[in-house]
Structure 1
Amino acid sequence: MTPVALDGGLLRPLDAPDCAPLAQALAAIDPWARLGYGAPALERYLRRDDPALARWVIERNGTIAGLLARRSPWLRGPYIELFAVLPGFQGNGLGGAAMNWAARHAAEIAPNLWACVSDFNAPARAFYARHGFAEIVGLDGLVQPGIGEILLRRRLQQ
């Protein structure tokens, strides 16, 4: 994986020194905070060897601004397994640029791009809708009892 210039930032492969600070940042914000994911569990996820999971750091001006983790292969298209733009970097198009890159890359190999969002996460649901994702099905209690997840699909090829 080589770094990719984004409008307003950079997408680069996750490096080992990125894992602990990213895990700390993610554990402090929703949906991970509300779902009970602590920093140690998130750090294990970021560090584990998984050849089907590509992880990129989103940067702005040399500072970590977020993360994009994509699983492929998945159901007739890659799956955005974890996507986050940290609060200080939201609202300036960086997340949209990263998602558009992910969609362009996925369209080269598959007809769909998939994601999942917690039902309580209204800002994420709105973000995904703005970027062409449709809510496909609710998955009650998938991660936590009493909390639903929603499977999303962005059709890339008709």
Structure 2
Amino acid sequence: MSTTEPWITLGRDYARCLTIVQLPTHEAWVALDADDRVAGFVLLVMEGAFVGYIRSIAVREDLRSRGVGRVLLSFVEQRVHEESPNVFLCVSSFNPRARALYERHGFHAVGELPDFVVQGHSEWLMRKTIGPITGFTPRTAPASRT
């Protein structure tokens, strides 16, 4: 997937993607197609200031606009809501199809980060929430990150 957009514009080659996937702070969740090939994946960060941050979500190019992204988002929301009421992600201004998917899925832009990753483009911080942190009761104890 590192050989397709938006990863090319983001400068994420295979080696960089592999490094990110292997970070110990990231949970990697993979969707498989009927032939057990990778259809897509999500990298999730469940610690730090933005617990429930989707670091990356990717769908194989030939399966885009076929519901894989929607399924991945639904799954990761359930995972996040075990521990946090908020799901966060960033989407690049040059990726309007992805932003439209997130908006259809209930995410709202909460801030713009100009020139954050790519000069001349913005990243939009988006959030989907089921309520404030105060008063939220986790469904499960946070997983150990050791």
TM bracket, shorter-chain basis: 0.7 to 0.9
* Structure richer in helix, relative to its length: 1
Pair 103,29 (structure 1): closer, same or farther in 2 beyond 3 Å: same
Contact 2:45/2:51 (<8 A) preserved: no
For 2:130 and 2:48, the matched residues in 1 are separated by 15
4+ runs deviating over 2 angstroms: 74-77
Does the residue aligned with 2:66 lie in a helix, a strand or coil? coil
Equivalent position of 1:84 in the other structure: 58
Equivalent residue for 1:95, pick from 41, 51, 69: 69
Equivalent position of 1:29 in the other structure: 4
Equivalent position of 1:55 in the other structure: 28
Compute the RMSD of aligned alpha carbons.
1.5
Taking structure 2 as the reference length, the TM-score comes to 0.82
For 1:76 and 1:142, the matched residues in 2 are separated by 17
Equivalent position of 1:43 in the other structure: 18
Report Cα offsets for 1:61-81 as digits up to 9, x if no partner: 111111100001243531000
For structure 1, the 5+ residue unaligned runs are 1-24
Give me the identity figure in percent: 27
111-120 vs 86-95, greater mean Cα deviation: 86-95
Taking structure 1 as the reference length, the TM-score comes to 0.76
For structure 2, the 5+ residue unaligned runs are 133-146
Shift of the alpha carbon at 1:87?
A: 1.5
Instruction: In structure 2, give the amino acid aligned to 1:43.
Output: L
Pair 1:73-2:47 in alignment: yes
